[in-house]
Amino acid sequence: MVLREALLLAHGGGWPPRAATPGPDGGRDDAGDGEPGPKWTPSTVAERFPTPEAVSALDAGRLAAAAWHWEPATARRVLRAWVAAGDGPDARWPQLLAPLATPAPPTHLADHHALAARTLPDAPVGLVAGYVGDPVLGAWAAEALRAAGQPLEADAVPRSSRLLWQLDRLHALAVPAWRASFTRYAETADADGPEPTDGPDSSKDPGRALELQALYDAFQQTAADWPGGTDVLTAELAHADPFTASHSLELLTDHPDQEIARPAALAHRECDRARSGPAPEAGGGGAGRRKAGKKARKRGGRR
């Protein structure tokens, strides 16, 4: 019962369901998915709130996907219990790491990578070392090994995985930067401030939110070391994960250095195309909402 209650609190409604299945009356049984007409039965309740025995019998892929939605402490505890239920102390680790090395759906990439970052430090070092060259999991495996004091070759991690790792790092900074920008805009909506001067020196504007400055600094540091520099990095971020990259790139479109702002704007437009498909017709509401959001962000970041 304790585990069932923990899953209810962690997932906000129970265990993530499988794909919709025919209900007793022949209709679709989408209980718990937020769609009209959920049909709760003893079998669906057991599915959504499994016993510890049922959790230990789950396949690793479904377990990892479910753990995207849980609080970190809950996910770590349940995954450890699942591993411990195997035939030996390390027998189930290969099964668990395999889905972590599989690309997640675009809408869950950030959750997937966060789960990998929390899970890999608990895995056997020898097994983690085998994933350093993985195009998805490599950078997270390398971080876990460095934390364990293990030596690594400088070019051991594939570029594709390093890109995903840098994207997650920038996204982690973009979230508080967005909050700070809108908070400042709300506090100073009627105040006018001087426009920053283009160029590298103005990237340290003392009136800018600290959270936004942290994002700027991290991006500039990454771009300085990235093959091809800013233009290549922004384009590759948008291509790798437009859903996640759009948050960082939109903030970077207001960077005072136009050598950063221009390619960021181009890459952000690519994110919009990837996420939304064809652009809306003239007169639609989408463009207006984007302009309003940008105005708020610019005021919030510059005051």
Please indicate, yes or no, whether the overall pTM of this predicted structure exceeds 0.95.
no
Residue 134 vs residues 2, 59, 216: alpha-carbon distances, Å: 37, 22, 29
Q: Cβ(15)–Cβ(55) under 8 Å?
A: no
User: From residue 191, how far is each of 177, 188, 202, 206, 273 by CA, in Å?
Assistant: 20, 5, 20, 17, 34
Query: What pLDDT is attached to residue 275?
Result: 81
Torsion of CA 184, 188, 194, 195, to 10 degrees: 50
Taking only the tens place, the pLDDT of each residue in 62-81 is 999 989 988 899 889 999 99
Higher pLDDT among residues 40 and 112, named by residue:
112
CA 190 – CA 119 distance, rounded (Å): 47
Q: Output the pLDDT for position 207.
A: 60
* Total length of the chain: 303
Q: Which of 130-134, 203-207, 232-236, 296-300 has the lowest mean pLDDT?
A: 296-300
Distance (Å, whole) CA 156 – CA 139: 9
pLDDT tens per residue across span 142-192: 999 999 999 998 789 999 999 999 999 999 999 999 988 777 655 555 555
What is the spatial distance between Cα 285 and Cα 96, in angstroms, rounded to a whole number?
44
Greatest Cα pair distance in the chain: 68
How far apart, in whole angstroms, are the C-alpha atoms of residue 291 and residue 298?
Answer: 10
